[in-house]
Structure 1
Amino acid sequence: MSVTPAGLDIRNVRVPGRTGAWDLLVADGKVLELLAHDPAASRAGATRIIDGRGLLLLPALTDAHAHLREPGQEWKEDIRSGLAAAAAGGFSNVLCMANTDPVNDNEAVTRLMRRRAAEAHPHGPRLFPIGALTVGLRGRELAPLGELRDAGCVAFSNDGEPVADTEIFRRALEYAADLTTPVIDHCEDPFMAKGSGANEGAMSARLGLRGQPDAAEAIQVARDILLAEYLDAPVHLAHVSCRRAVELIAAAKKRGAPVTAETCPHYLLMTDAALLGYDTMAKVNPPLRTDDDRLALTQALREGVIDILATDHAPHALHEKETPFEDAKNGISGLDTALASLWELVRQGRLSPEDLVTRFAWRPAEIFHLPVNRFAPGDPADFLLFDPEDSWVVTPESLRSKGKNTPLLGQPLTGRVVLTAVGGVVVHDLLARPDPA
């Protein structure tokens, strides 16, 4: 459901980092003013007045790592369904990876993706393609990075196919730096149990599964850090999952290395214990690791060693998960549930609402040069309303994504995005009518 962007008056909401109640005024797609709530105020001109009592007002989120599968794999997800899931999850900006079919390694694919997004969701969420770093993601020759940037790509990545040839990766960092466009690297030694989906340790041994050691991630992180420092060229490290990588990143940042990093909700909320019963819904790459890794990631996120949160939304058809563990696809569908699931860490006091705003809204927009709302006059009116007390159960019907592959299925969550606005237009709305799910 959407409304015209002429004007919104959101009243009596709470805002992380601010005391008391607040009112948000929106006009012509921009923030007009965020001001202290006045119950006696009478304002003319708003298309819609919303009573936000009990709700939190947050800037809309930016997901720097999602797989929307179109073109070529629409049975898993398409741009229409993926952006619908993003709207339900509170996202205004979605960066989508290049592992489509055909691969997004030329301007024709980039323009197709952008056109499909504009047709399916003209008011947002906004789609920002990530261009392939190498042709066909094969790691042998650079993709036409300048062409991809000019067509609308905001970053480059070889996605789940790490570039094993360090000389090619070096040239990619240099070229991308000249284009002032970030490189995102999937940090995994391509020869150490690639894609196994299980952490090498006590749990993989108990289940008799081939495991991937955390050293496989740390080795690639170390390589990327050394190259970034040597070239003074930035690199962004995708879906960090282990303490070893965190320690390397922390030391690099102390030296001033041009490195940023992300982690994902599932690495903060789950461990490899989720694999008990050979649960393929918890099979992801890099794999879920130990509780020590989970705690290290949470601390690193609070301290800014890990710069941002990203979903690594990886939808699959159910038949691709309902197989023996070794044959199942890696990936978790996460756009619908990211913020709601992370709210449990806020309830536990492990993260603050301000942490989520910084790591899931402001900082990713800064790194990838995207629109950002800090609720200053003139900022884009990209925001969400969150009900921290709304309890709901994750079911296939409650997920807008085609991908129902999440270990959260059947689990209750407390906290829900009830409204998302992009440029002042409401693109997800549970306040106007009850959610049928």
Structure 2
Amino acid sequence: MSTLIKAAQVLQAGQLTTQDILIQDSRIKAIGHNLNQQYGAADQVICADQHVVIPGLVDVHVHLREPGLTDKETIDTGTMAAAHGGFTTVGAMPNVEPVPDTPEKVALMVAENTQKAHVHVAQYASITKNRTGDELVDFEGVKQAGAFAVSNDGSGVQTAGTMYQAMCGAAKAGLPLAAHVEDESLKRDGVMNAGPVADKLGLPGIPGISESAQIARDVLLAEASGVHYHVCHISTAASVRVVRDAKRAGINVTCEVSPHHLLLTDEDITMDNPMLKMNPPLRSPKDRAALIAGLLDGTIDMIATDHAPHTDAQKAGSMRTAAFGITGLETAFATLYTALVKPRLLTLSQLVALMSTRPAELFGLTGAGQLKPGAPADLAILDLTHPYEIKANQMLSKGHNSPFVGWQVYGNVLMTLVDGQVVYGKDQHA
């Protein structure tokens, strides 16, 4: 089966050039001009109509909610949402029921992902049994069963001894350890960023030190253990400073930032609004500025959505009682392109690297994040010219819990291909 994508603005080496893309047997065969003369007629032709083609996006931090929490999301709906957002590879976090904390459970989840997913799914195992305790998983066993990394996302590892032993085990198995960094003794019952806004609204705050203090602990443990230590959803200026210093010291640390922390601050919370409740919370404008600076100087390695769908009922009422988290897969590229690339804070090439190439490279996701001959035909076709409104009723995720509904944005995903097959898109076949 061969597919020819004609008249595409292809993003390669930081440049957009009009070329055709020939896909054959799930891989990119060639990129260039007059490919039908060299390779013969393709079985199908897709007219890109001068729209931009990029490598499929890669998100290492997604909650698919299956098994056990399928009222919020499923592998089916979550990966369709990913395809809608231009993502072709996602990393599925382990805070599901049951937790994938044994080789057998990991193998079962890998098989379910393979059967049900519309995009590639890399599966996390947990760091500890049941994700919240101190008993470590069999790191070598979960890796052999198919885990690409380990994380207790949703819960910080509270004791240094447990974290150090986990890092030693993960390092020996060759698994990255992705940490939800949060000292619960400092977080307490907070629901938003501690500061003047929380005080004004009368809501309990989560201090930034609850995040940065645990990162400071962990980078020294990472240095001692030799593990690839990855910080999930970094959100404060102090955290950026700690990671920057650790990198300068030669410690193997990487980190991600979520779109909402780049786009919003606690000053956008003008009332008790659960749609703006997330963990870590929206921080101050100073923190947001530090995050953007961290992207620009390379301290922050990638962008990851922390896609966290919930039912309407779970996000209703007060921030005191509603669930933490917002969706992100279907809004991430467009909101970031509109807010960062259009005003020229980032280039399109930089944004694609942060959302595709870099996460694939740093997590060893072979073949992902590439747009070149021989690579898997995982790509997205984007309309960067025409604005559109983000609408809840057009989302493919079960969760509509997004503060970006109603935003006017650029960067509409017209079509997503995985292994050369159209998994999302309008009928653009010629």
Q: Does the alignment reach a TM-score above 0.5?
A: yes
Shift of 1:47: 2.3
C-alpha deviation, 1:275, in angstroms:
1.9
Tell me which moved more, 173-182 or 223-232.
223-232
3-state DSSP of counterpart to 1:181:
coil
> Would you say how many aligned residue pairs link Structure 1 and Structure 2?
426
Do the aligned residues in 1 keep the contact of 2:189 with 2:204 (CA within 8 Å)? no
Pairing of 1:35-434 with structure 2 (within 5 A): 35=32, 37=33, 44-121=40-117, 124-194=118-188, 196-344=190-338, 345-370=340-365, 371-432=367-428
TM-score by structure 2 length? Answer: 0.95
Structure 1 Cα separation of the partners of residues 263 and 383 of structure 2: 20
- Checking the alignment, whether the CA contact within 8 Å between 1:70 and 1:100 is kept in structure 2 is yes
Q: Please tell me whether the aligned partners of residues 373 and 380 of structure 1 are also in contact (alpha carbons under 8 angstroms).
A: no
1:263-317 CA distance string (max 9 Å, x none): 0110111111232121111100000011121121112112211001101000000
Most deviating of 384-393 and 359-368: 384-393
What's the offset of the Cα at 1:41? Answer: 6.7
The CA deviation at 1:38 is: 5.8
Q: Distance in 1 between matches of 2:10 and 2:427?
A: 17
CA separation of 1:49 and 1:194: change in aligned 2, threshold 3 A: farther
Task: Give yes or no for contact 1:33–1:375 (8 Å, CA) kept in 2.
Answer: no
Q: Is the 8 A contact 2:47 2:428 kept in 1?
A: no
- CA distance in structure 2 between the partners assigned to 1:304 and 1:195 by the alignment: 33
Q: TM-score, normalised by structure 1?
A: 0.93
Could you tell me how far 1:373 is from its partner in structure 2? 4.2
Q: Which runs of 4+ in 1 moved over 3 A?
A: 37-43
Q: Where do 5+ consecutive residues of structure 1 fail to align?
A: none
2:92 is matched by which residue type in structure 1? C
Helix, strand or coil: the match of 1:161? coil
Deviation for aligned residue 1:399: 0.7
State the Cα deviation string for residues 335-385 of structure 1 (Å, max 9, x = none).
111111111111111111111121111111112211324323211111111
Judged with a 3 Å threshold, the aligned counterparts in structure 2 of structure 1 residues 170 and 90 are, in CA distance, closer, same or farther, namely same
2:205 counterpart SS class:
coil
Give secondary structure in 2 for the equivalent of 1:76: coil
Looking at structure 1, the residues matched to 23 and 98 of structure 2 have their Cα atoms a distance apart, in angstroms, of 41
Residue in structure 2 matched with residue 18 of structure 1 by the alignment:
15
- For the residue of structure 2 that corresponds to 1:15, the secondary structure is strand
Q: For residues 63 and 151 of structure 2, what CA distance do their matches in structure 1 show?
A: 12
Contact 1:225 1:259 in 2 (8 A): yes
| SS of the residue 1:273 aligns to | helix
Q: Percent identity?
A: 35
State how far apart, in whole Å, the 2-side matches of 1:19 and 1:377 are: 17
Question: Relative to 1, partners in 2 of residues 1:228 and 1:82: Cα closer, same or farther, differing over 3 Å?
Answer: same
- 2-side partners of 1:141 and 1:298: how far apart? 37
Distance 1:197 1:431, change over 3 A: farther
Equivalent in the alignment of 2:24: 27
> Structure 1 208/233 Cα, relative in aligned 2: closer, same or farther at 3 Å?
same
Counterpart of 2:323 in 1: which secondary structure?
coil
**In the TM superposition, what is the alpha-carbon distance from 1:195 to its structure 2 partner?**
6.4
Amino acid at match of 1:199: N
Distance 1:202 1:31, change over 3 A: same
CA distance in 2, matches of 1:338, 1:399: 13
Shift of 1:391: 2.5
Instruction: Give the 3-state SS of the residue equivalent to 2:81 in structure 1.
Output: helix
